[in-house]
């Protein structure tokens, strides 16, 4: 990518999009274009077409998506499949129509079967049944992967698909109903600490194992792959290391400084027993994650305190 080429970041205000924007700006890319969801409804095909006609981006980072944890996926399955299919179909197809030089499509590690061998290699895609709790979201992401591959094969496009592991960092979603496990734990422990509550409840048994990647590492990997990767086959992005939810909860508890008890609600679903990506393909290209979980967690908690907890407190004060 030339430093002056027009680059469109679809989803620039979210966790991933904002990190990609930061990374591109750090590297000296000066011609970035983006729109908020209020300014551009990506589920509207006509609106997307008009945007591409007006802006004519040369490169596209397609990271806009409806995302959430187990509760959100269970509660809004129709929205997860409809919204994501609509967004990615419109942007991918319109990128082809307007001769975009290269597009990066952001998938998810949930595309892999529930009981796939660990660590998960790229070739395990579609080798078994998906985890039921996030199947609609996973199917939408798989459709996006296959769409990119089909357009490459039929039209000669250069659309790549990357599969990140669980992400965290600045601009994450800390809503307890819609967030992923790590930001949810940060908020739960922080609020329990400030309200001097005796215990924090964590969903499930605490035994599932998960891998966590700081979003700034992901952004760096995405830019790296846009510059160096040309293959239609998917590529994993992760750390290659995991830990149990119980270990994660204890780590968050310590970083937040909460002194109470952790209670595990065994009536709630655990999700996939283990999710660890095989990142040997990306590592062989010369890239690997640089931010340790303990370090990234400290920065994320500091960001939460400055940008989220303060606003939540102001909202509570209004209604008291």
Residue 148: pLDDT over 50: yes
In a domain, 166, yes or no: yes
What is the model's pLDDT at position 314?
Answer: 44
Which residues, in sequence order, are CB contacts of 46 under 8 Å at separation 6+?
none
Determine which one of 8, 59, 96, 137 is catalytic: 137
Q: Is 188 within any annotated ligand binding site? A: yes
In a domain, 26, yes or no: yes
Q: Is 11 within any annotated ligand binding site? A: yes
Residue 196: pLDDT over 90: yes
Residue 68: pLDDT over 90: no
In a domain, 261, yes or no: no
Contact 253, 206 (CB under 8 A): no
Domain hosting 71: range is 7-172+212-242+273-291
Handedness of CA 305, 70, 103, 116 (dihedral sign): positive
In a domain, 182, yes or no: no
Burial class (CB in 10 A: 0-12, 13-18, 19+), 196: exposed
CATH number of the CATH domain containing 13: 3.40.50.720
Q: Is 281 within any annotated ligand binding site? A: no
Contact 83, 66 (CB under 8 A): yes
Structural domain count, the chain:
1
70: confidence class by pLDDT, cuts 50, 70, 90: confident
Tell me whether strands 209-210 and 59-62 are parallel, antiparallel or unpaired: unpaired
Q: Is 270 within any annotated ligand binding site? A: yes
Tell me whether strands 209-210 and 102-106 are parallel, antiparallel or unpaired: unpaired
Residue 137 catalytic? Answer: yes
In a domain, 135, yes or no: yes
- As a whole number of angstroms, the distance between CA 173 and CA 152 comes to 33
Q: What is the DSSP string of 208-256?
A: -EE-EEEHHHHHHHHHHHHHH---SS-EEES-S--EEHHHHHHHHHHHH
In a domain, 301, yes or no: no
In a domain, 143, yes or no: yes
Mean pLDDT score of the chain, rounded to an integer? 94
Which residues, in sequence order, are CB contacts of 135 under 8 Å at separation 6+?
77
In a domain, 162, yes or no: yes
Distance from CA of residue 108 to its chain's centroid? 7
Q: Is 144 within any annotated ligand binding site? A: no
Contact 206, 168 (CB under 8 A): no
Q: Is 265 within any annotated ligand binding site? A: no
312: confidence class by pLDDT, cuts 50, 70, 90: low
pTM equals 0.93
Q: In terms of Cα–Cα distance, which of 85, 103, 235, 67 is closest to 162?
A: 235
Averaged pLDDT for residues 175-183: 85
């Amino acid at each position: 990518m030339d430093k002056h080429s027009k680059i469109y970041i679809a989803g620039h205000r979210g966790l991933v999009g904002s990190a990609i924007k930061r990374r591109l700006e750090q590297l000296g890319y000066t011609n970035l274009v983006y729109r908020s969801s209020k300014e551009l409804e990506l589920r509207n095909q006509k609106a997307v077409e008009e945007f591409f006609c007006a802006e004519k981006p040369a490169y596209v980072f397609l990271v806009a998506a409806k995302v959430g944890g187990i509760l959100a996926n269970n509660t809004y399955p129709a929205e997860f499949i409809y919204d994501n299919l609509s967004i990615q179909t419109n942007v991918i197809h319109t990128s082809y129509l307007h001769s975009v030089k290269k597009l990066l499509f952001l998938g998810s590690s949930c595309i892999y079967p529930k009981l796939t061998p660990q660590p998960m290699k790229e070739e395990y895609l579609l080798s078994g049944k998906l985890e039921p709790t996030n199947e609609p979201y996973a199917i939408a992401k798989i459709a996006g992967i296959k769409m990119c591959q089909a357009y490459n094969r039929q039209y000669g496009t250069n659309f790549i698909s990357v599969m990140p592991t669980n992400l965290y960092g600045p601009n994450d979603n800390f809503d307890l109903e819609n967030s992923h496990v790590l930001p949810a734990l940060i908020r739960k422990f922080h609020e329990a600490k400030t309200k001097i509550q005796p215990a924090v409840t964590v969903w499930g048994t605490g035994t599932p194992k998960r891998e966590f990647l700081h979003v700034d590492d992901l952004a760096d990997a995405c830019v790296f792959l846009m510059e160096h990767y040309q293959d239609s086959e998917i590529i994993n992005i992760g750390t290659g290391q995991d830990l149990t939810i119980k270990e994660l909860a204890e780590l968050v508890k310590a970083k937040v400084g909460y002194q109470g008890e952790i209670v595990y609600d065994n009536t709630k679903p655990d999700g996939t027993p283990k999710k660890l990506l095989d990142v040997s393909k990306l590592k062989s290209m010369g890239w690997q994650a640089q931010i340790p979980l303990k370090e990234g967690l400290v920065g994320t908690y500091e960001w939460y305190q400055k940008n989220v907890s303060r606003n939540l407190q102001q909202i509570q004060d209004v209604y008291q």
